Amino acid sequence: MSGAAPEAAAVVVDDLHVAWEETPVFAGFHLAVEAGSFLAVVGPSGCGKSTLLRVLAGLEVPRAGTAAVGGVDVVGRPGSCAWLPQRDALLPWRRVLDNAVLGAEVAGRPRDVSRAEAEALLDRFGLAGTADRWPSELSGGMRQRVAVLRTFLTPASVLLLDEPFGALDALTRRSMQSWLGEVWAERSAGRGATALLVTHDVEEALLLADRVVVLSAGPAEVVADERVPFARPRSGDLVVDPSFVELRRRLLDALGV
């Protein structure tokens, strides 16, 4: 995409330079994400997708360039975004409800307020009756639902989703994709949230996102930028729609697959 940031951008990365030792990952990288949108980032392994999220989360300091969320510099400043890692990262000594409110607690929200909101959402997140259960008593899909709830309860306007379903089996992953699409449509409408998803799965990107960008191998550049025209909610049946198939083909071509 072009380096020009739209006026309504929630996230702006400009002239980003990151290297692993002497290997450049980003060398003058630009990206802007519109407020209230869901962006998916796909690309080959090792191209820097997760590194981009780490920069926005304030966990990775670039050699040069800027990263801003809501117009505020976030370089080296953790806490501006809500983070959903590849693994659920649930604390084994905290029960489900206590894990769900952890991000909100760290952000300084009153404990009673966070717990009340979490309890009200357990059923919608497919977690009815689990408030007092331990993480070890949950399936992989259930654990990831708790992690998603924790992310949504964190008082941040930008959500960073780092391959959140990559560790799940294919059937559970597809079910979780449909569920997250529904939850996103419901929850984002009221809070104006913006999401960035990193994934290797082009179909996942098209089922969840409003826009998909494809990164090249390092130093990473945007080699494709596609709007996703399909209305929400999106079901798994969409993958056989001719328009979906054509858009998937263009993205795979950009990936060199």
- pLDDT confidence of residue 251: 96
Q: What is the mean pLDDT of the chain?
A: 88
- pLDDT over 70 at 4, yes or no: no
Question: Is pLDDT at 25 greater than 60 in this prediction?
Answer: yes
As beta bridge partners, residue 213 has: 41, 225
pLDDT tens for 31-58 read 999 988 999 999 998 899 999 999 999 8
Residues 90-113 have pLDDT tens digits of: 999 999 999 999 988 888 888 889
pLDDT of residue 191: 63
Residue 202 in this model has a pLDDT that exceeds 80: yes
**Mean per-residue pLDDT for 208-236?**
91
Quick one: what percent of the chain has pLDDT higher than 70?
95
What pLDDT is attached to residue 2? 42
State mean pLDDT over 237-255: 93
Q: In the prediction, which pLDDT does 38 show?
A: 93
Mean pLDDT of 212-225: 93
182 or 38, greater pLDDT: 38
Band the pLDDT of 1: cuts 50, 70, 90.
very low
At residue 256, the pLDDT reads 85
More confident residue, 183 or 58: 58
Complete domains list, the chain, with CATH: 1-76+157-165+190-257 (3.40.50.300), 82-155 (no CATH)
The fraction of the chain above a pLDDT of 90, given in percent, is 51
* Residue 11 pLDDT grade (very low, low, confident, very high; cuts 50, 70, 90): very high
For residues 148-164, give the mean pLDDT: 87
Annotate the chain with DSSP letters as a single string. Answer: --SPPPTTEEEEEEEEEEEETTEEEEEEEEEEEETT-EEEEE--TTSSHHHHHHHHTTSS--SEEEEEETTEE-TT-TTSSEEE-SS----TTS-HHHHHTHHHHHTT--HHHHHHHHHHHTTTTT-TT-TT--GGGS-HHHHHHHHHHHHHHSS-SEEEEESTTTTS-HHHHHHHHHHHHHHHHHHHHHH--EEEEE-S-HHHHHHH-SEEEEEPSSSP-EEEEEE--PPSS--GGGGGSHHHHHHHHHHHHHHT-
Average pLDDT on 73-97 reads 89
